[in-house]
Amino acid sequence: MIAKDSDNLSNSSLSAWRPGQGWLGVIPGKTSIKDAINGLGGTCETAEMANGFSFDFRDGLIRVTAIEQQATISKLWISGRLASAGIIPGSLKSAQNVFSNLLRVGRDPFNADIYESEGVRLAAASGSDDGDLVWIEFLPV
């Protein structure tokens, strides 16, 4: 089942997030493409990638991808702009409270700092130690 907006950060279960748990009820590597699409609202824009497909929801602020002809989704991407709706943490420090062991691994083409921990990758605006979340990805474990 896919969670709704009401399943937001105030949900106590989030403080105990574990790798492989996914987000919004979508578990990369486990949730089928069909279930992910239905759960995220049903309506989406589809585009082809070199090795798979992407499905965009909410005007492109949420995306799931499926690669290499697998029936399950390979990644869930969420824009930092949805932090204001309480769907994801709003800043690096609040993300560190939810996802343990985040380590900086590089930067994205917009110079946002990329942090990773098992099952999650996120980018935070780089101009301060507690930059806004720019995007977050949930990955298979």
Using the rule CB under 8 A, give the single segment among 8-16, 17-25, 34-42, 72-80 that binds other proteins: 72-80
Binding status of residue 23 toward other proteins by CB under 8 A: no
Q: In whole angstroms, what is the distance from residue 32 CA to residue 74 CA?
A: 10
Q: Which of 17, 23, 77, 99 binds other proteins (CB under 8 A)?
A: 77
For the bound state, the minimum distance from the C-beta of residue 86 to other proteins, rounded and expressed in Å, comes to 19
In the complex, minimum distance from the CB of residue 15 to other proteins, in angstroms, rounded to a whole number: 25
Measured from the Cβ of residue 105, the count of other Cβ atoms closer than 10 Å reads: 11
Report how far apart, in Å, the C-alpha atoms of 28 and of each of 13, 47, 56, 127, 130 are.
19, 18, 15, 31, 27
Q: Which amino acid is at 96?
A: Q
Total residues contacting other proteins by CB under 8 A comes to 43
Alpha-carbon span 140 to 131, nearest angstrom: 26
Cβ distance 45 to 60 under 8 Å? yes
Footprint of other proteins on this chain (CB under 8 A)? 28, 45, 47, 49-52, 54, 56, 60-61, 63, 65, 67-68, 74-75, 77, 79-81, 103-107, 109-112, 121, 125-129, 131-132, 134-135, 137, 139-140
